[in-house]
Amino acid sequence: MILLWPTTSSPSSPNNPTPPGPNSTSSLPSSRLPLSSPFSRASPTWKLALSFFQWASDQHQYGYRHNCYTYNTIASIFSRSRQTTHLKTVVKQLVESAPCSFTPGALGFLIRCLGEVGLAQEAHHLFDEMRVKGLCVPNVYCYNCLLEALSKAGEVDLVEARLEEMKGFGWEFDKFTLTPVVQAYCKARRFD
């Protein structure tokens, strides 16, 4: 953490024998980190997280396996730092190797991470794969997260198809279901 104090007094000088206080520039450390965008500050974080994630992946001989929470943690880090290539790779690895099951809440979280960076097709594919392989039994929350991701991407046809699936299950629609549907129609300028 970097603390920056506003300068309200000048540093000590021969005419001003007062030692520098917390408001003087001379009390700041000489090696300051550059203040830049949050993405460049987060850069070392995602690289370190990726390195640890890959190292942990190789710890099978000690009984370690990634679970839904480690996948969601790395997905969240990649999503926040806009590392879509790495996020796609992690999701592809998850889908292909089917290493663990997900709770509906964990799957919804992962879908939201994908949707936040515009990877709606990947979210759609992940949703289907997890369901088909029996790694997650989606609930209303999962569907709502998927509807939100598809809506942000303007995928009106997919939103309609998923809404019909939900209707087929006999689920009631609430504001969390209908809001992304309305947003998808508005984004596509389909007001009929």
pLDDT digits (tens, 9 = 90+) for 71-96: 888 899 999 989 889 889 888 888 88
Name the residue with higher pLDDT: 192 or 46. 46
pLDDT of residue 124: 95
Q: Please name each of the domains of the chain with its CATH number.
A: 39-187 (1.25.40.10)
Select, from the ranges 42-51, 94-103, 109-118, the one with the highest average predicted confidence (pLDDT).
109-118
Q: Is residue 142 scored above 90 in pLDDT?
A: yes
Angle made by CA atoms 13, 19, 25, in degrees to the nearest 5: 75
Packing angle of the helix pair 38-57, 84-97 (nearest 10 deg)? 20
Name the residue with higher pLDDT: 57 or 36. 57
The confidence band for 33, taking pLDDT boundaries of 50, 70 and 90, is very low
pLDDT of residue 23: 42
Residue 43 tokens read as 């850069």
